[in-house]
Structure 1
Amino acid sequence: MNDKNHIQFDNLLYSCVDKKQRANESFVQEHAFGYIISGESHFKTNEGMKVAGPGTIGLVRRNQLIKSDKVPPIGGGDFKAVNIFLDQAFLRRYSAENKLAPANNYQGDKIRILPPDPFIKGYFDSLLPYFDHPKMASSAMTELKSREAVELLLRLDPTFYDFLFDFSEPYKIDLEAYMNQHYMYNVPTARFATLTGRSLASFKRDFEKVFRTSPGQWLQQKRLAEAYYLISQKGRKPSDVYLDVGFENLSHFSYTFKKAFGVSPSLV
């Protein structure tokens, strides 16, 4: 991916934005190891908001739903960050090659903020020249950098072993509780199925038993009800609400809202 805001090759991503930007993807599919150079990242999960400022180095666990904003410095300048994604295929290969013992089921925090460490800071600094000179990058280099990242994380904190090498998939969990906590994330129904430990067919069947309606209808009604509450009771603007409750664009949100409530969201 190459645009004015992002440069990506293989599993490395450099971000640079000059105004607040909502991330397009709510689902973190693979472990993300990142460093914020300037500005802030605001991460919102069902457990609350986390704010990571300049100099923050963190590790975000795979298979979770997150809303995030990239926020440039208040005094001006760009938000800048670099990330490396540690995917399951690579980690399984690393585990096999190094004959690692099976990991325990990871039960810790899904977003880990690392303490200051000169070696990890130096590691991220070593990635930056490749974004200025992409011809110097190669698959062999990104593989080497992925291995270096794992070695540095395990040296820093042995508990990252279970974080990285727990390959278990989500098990079947309480569907009603999960959906009431995560309905505002704009992801496909198939993704909700995976995250609740079900096949798509099983998810739809269990969903209709619990909620007496289809996932699509329930999600729309739930999101609209929350939007109505935020606008009418909390004084929020429609333009500030639609993304937070899981709609993709303002025009579709406004049309759906008016169809449901008989009035434009701007007139509530």
Structure 2
Amino acid sequence: MMDDKGHIQLNNLLYSCVYEKQRGNEQFVYEHALGCVVSGETHLLTNTGTIKFKAGTIGLVRRNQLVKSLKVPPPGGEFKSLNIFLDQAFLRRYSAENKLAQVEPYTGPSYRILQPDPYLKGYFDSLLPYFNQSAQPNAPLAELKTREAVELLLRHDPGLKGILFDFSEPGKIDLESFMNRNYMYNVPAAKFAMLTGRSLASFKRDFEKVFHTSPGQWLLQKRLMEARYLISQKGRKPSEVYLDVGFENLSHFSYSFKKAFGVAPSMM
């Protein structure tokens, strides 16, 4: 069980409750995530803009996505949300058990806000008691709730099978275009490699051919250049910028910035 005072994870169920704005720790969605915002808002920062999930919203995020999340409590209140992660192993079993036909690789939206549905709302209401310490679900019960989630999604919209049961992996795509759109996500090179349809070795080799430097050096320079632009031209504060461009902490950002430009970011 993960419990960091703001999050409790039981098997593949996650409950969040925070009192101040908080960025998500993960910037890569490993498995399909079905979520409900109980109070406050969730902001998903994608490379094409921000998607807002307001209180009462139920949404589905497809696996293998780069995204930054921001939990926003309501005025004077607390942010609460529930999520269930639908992993590939379970979905493959479900597909085999139900003899589902193979689906074509999915090419639609990666983020879906679902229409109001009393059955899905009732489902999330039924999850809340499990986050009492005395009511933790065991693995069979968690699998039962996962099966229920899939059944309700397919009842809500049979077309969602195109997302849920697409087991294909990303194909090889243009590396330069992808990296220029996604450099601000702080994920390992192996994730960039997978999302561009390459092994890590092929990714590094192709990267050198395209950018004439290593992924690590290019990412550092790209992030620093963007940070300098945001600070000097847009009037942003270093404390607001470093996470946006892909740094993990302010001290590392400040050190790297001064080393690259000869001046602290606060002096720009």
Q: Is TM > 0.5 for Structure 1 vs Structure 2?
A: yes
- Is 1:67 aligned with 2:68? yes
Whole-angstrom distance in 2 between the partners of 1:240 and 1:125: 36
Q: 1:202 to 1:134 in 2, by over 3 A?
A: farther
- Is 1:58 aligned with 2:59? yes
Q: CA deviation at 1:3?
A: 2.3
**Residue correspondences, number:** 267
Q: CA deviation at 1:135?
A: 3.6
Q: What secondary structure is seen at the aligned counterpart in 2 of 1:159?
A: helix
Q: 1:136 to 1:199 in 2, by over 3 A?
A: closer
Whole-angstrom distance in 2 between the partners of 1:203 and 1:54: 40
Whole-angstrom distance in 1 between the partners of 2:88 and 2:134: 25
Whole-angstrom distance in 2 between the partners of 1:68 and 1:62: 15
Q: 1:230 to 1:201 in 2, by over 3 A?
A: same
Identity of aligned residues (%): 72
How high is the TM-score relative to the length of structure 2?
0.98
For residues 210-249 of structure 1, the aligned pairs below 5 Å read: 210-249=210-249
For residues 147-226 of structure 1, the aligned pairs below 5 Å read: 147-226=147-226
Letter in 2 for 1:44: L
Whole-angstrom distance in 1 between the partners of 2:264 and 2:136: 53
Q: Which runs of 5+ in 1 are unaligned?
A: none
Q: CA deviation at 1:53?
A: 0.8
Aligned to 1:88: 88
Q: Where does structure 1 differ by over 2 angstroms across 4 or more consecutive aligned residues?
A: 133-136
Whole-angstrom distance in 2 between the partners of 1:70 and 1:131: 19
- Is 1:22 aligned with 2:26? no
Q: CA deviation at 1:98?
A: 1.1
Whole-angstrom distance in 1 between the partners of 2:116 and 2:103: 26
Letter in 2 for 1:16: C
Q: What secondary structure is seen at the aligned counterpart in 2 of 1:163?
A: helix
Whole-angstrom distance in 1 between the partners of 2:9 and 2:95: 26
Q: Which runs of 5+ in 2 are unaligned?
A: none
How high is the TM-score relative to the length of structure 1?
0.98
Alignment root-mean-square deviation, CA: 0.8
Whole-angstrom distance in 2 between the partners of 1:146 and 1:177: 36
Aligned to 2:256: 256
